[in-house]
Amino acid sequence: MVDKLPDNLRGRDLLSLHDFTAEEIMQMLDLADDLKARQKKKDPHQYLQGKTLGMIFQKSSTRTRVSFEVGIYQLGGQALFLSSLDIQLGRGESVADTARVLSRFVDGIMIRTFAQSDVEELARYSDVPVINGLTDLLHPCQILADLQTIREKKGRLAGLKLAYVGDGNNIAHSLLFGCAKTGINISVASPDSYKPNERIVALAREDAALTGAKIEILTVPAEAVKGADVVVTDVWASMGQEAEQQERARVFAGYQVNEELVSHAAKGFIFLHCLPAHRGEEVSTGIIDGLHSVVWDEAENRLHAQKAVMALLM
C-alpha cells in the first residue's frame, strides 16, 4: 500500500497519453491498482483532503461525472459540477479567462467537451492541473481504465495484441497512444473514410518505436481480430454525430463485433467497450453479455484510474 505519493507528476496536465512516458503511465496504473485494493478493504486514502475539482461538462456523461465525483470524494476532496448552463464559457467568456478565474477557486479542472483545442487552451492559461475527460479527438482517462482492466485480466500489457473494430474516433486515437506506450500490439480496422487521424497514427508510431509495439491500420475486421487477446469497439455515431446515424449504420454494417468475428481472436480473448453500447449495432448481445466481456470491470476501473490521475496530478 502506498502511504506517501510521489511528486514527480504534481501540477501536470493530462491532455493526451502521448505526453507521458511509458514509466509515468505505469505509475498511474500501479497507483490505480493500489487505490482499488484500498477501496475494497475500506482502507481510507484521502490524499486530496480539502481539495476541490471543478468539473466542466459541455458533453453530458454517466460514467465520467459519477466516477470523477465519487473519486474526488473518496480521496477526501469535493467536486463542483459545472454544465454549459452554469458557467459563462461559450456564452461570451473566453476559454483563457475561464481558466484564469477557475484557477483562483479550485485545485484541479476536469473538462469534457468537443474540441481538443479548448482543452489545450484551458491548460495553457490555468494555474492548476487540467484533466481531459473527453474530446472529439482523445479520451485518455478511458484508456487508462482499459489498460488497468487488461492488466488485471491478462497479467501483463507488453506483447499482447489488441484489436479495435469500428470508427477511428477518440477511443481509437487514445488506444493507439496507450498501446504504443505500453508495448501492446494494436490493429485498428475501420472503413476507408473513417480511419484514425493520420497525425495521431504517426505520433503513435513514434511511441511504438520505443517499446517495440506493432501498429496496423486495416479495413478488414477479421484481419485485425486474428489472434487478438483483447477486442474493443465503440458506438458507430458518437455524441454530436446523430445526424450521421443512418449513413454510419450503412457504412459500418460489416464491422459489428459478433460471434463470427471473434472466432478469429485468441481463445481466451476479452471484450471491452467504453459504453454506452448499442446492442445489435456495433456489438451483438451475445458478446457484450457473454463470458468474454469485461465491460463492467472496465467501467468500474474508470473510478480507480481517474483517482490515480487526480491524486498524482493535484
Q: What is the DSSP string of 138-154?
A: --HHHHHHHHHHHHHHH
In a domain, 69, yes or no: yes
| Residue 161 backbone dihedrals phi, psi, to 5 degrees | -115, 130
Determine which one of 274, 292, 304, 306 is catalytic: 274
Active site residue 302: yes
Catalytic residue among 12, 18, 63, 139: 139
Whole-angstrom distance, CA of residue 174 vs CA of residue 62 = 20
Domain that holds residue 166: 142-298
Judge whether 11 lies within some domain: no
**1 falls within a domain:** no
Residues 192 and 216 in one domain: yes
293 shares a domain with 155? yes
> Which of 13, 34, 146, 234 is flagged as catalytic?
234
Using the Cα atoms of residue 46, residue 52, residue 57 and residue 60 in order, give the sign of their dihedral: positive
Structural contact between residues 265 and 231, judged by C-beta atoms closer than 8 angstroms:
yes
Confirm whether 166 is domain-assigned.
yes
Same structural domain, 76 and 151: no
**199 belongs to the catalytic site:** no
CATH number (domain holding residue 209): 3.40.50.1370
Residues 150 and 261 in one domain: yes
- So what's the pLDDT on residue 180? 98
6 part of a folded domain: no
Say what the pLDDT of residue 157 is.
Answer: 98
Say yes or no: 162 and 292 in one domain.
Answer: yes
The answer to whether residue 156 sits within a structural domain is yes
Asked if 157 and 271 sit in the same domain, the reply is yes
Q: What is the pTM of this model?
A: 0.97
Catalytic residue among 65, 112, 173, 292: 112
Is residue 205 among the annotated active site residues?
Answer: no
78, three cell numbers: 469535493
152 in the same domain as 114: no
Residue 244: the pLDDT is 86
One domain for residues 184 and 288: yes
User: Is 9 inside any structural domain?
Assistant: no
Domain co-membership, 148 together with 187:
yes
Please check whether residues 166 and 264 belong to one and the same domain: yes
The pLDDT, as a whole number, for residue 41 is 97
Whether residue 118 lies inside any domain: the answer is yes
65 is catalytic: no
Instruction: Tell me how far CA of residue 87 lies from CA of 55, 91, 145, in angstroms.
Output: 11, 8, 29
The one catalytic residue in 173, 273, 292, 302 is 302
Query: Are 160 and 269 found together in one domain?
Result: yes
pLDDT in tens, 16-39: 999 999 999 999 999 999 999 999
Number of domains in the chain: 2
Q: What is the pLDDT of residue 48?
A: 98
Q: Give the chain's residues under pLDDT 50.
A: none
Has 274 been annotated as catalytic?
A: yes
* 139 classed as catalytic: yes
In this predicted structure, what is the pLDDT of residue 34?
97
Contact in structure between 229 and 198 (CB atoms under 8 Å): no
Closest CA to 267 of 212, 228, 210: 228
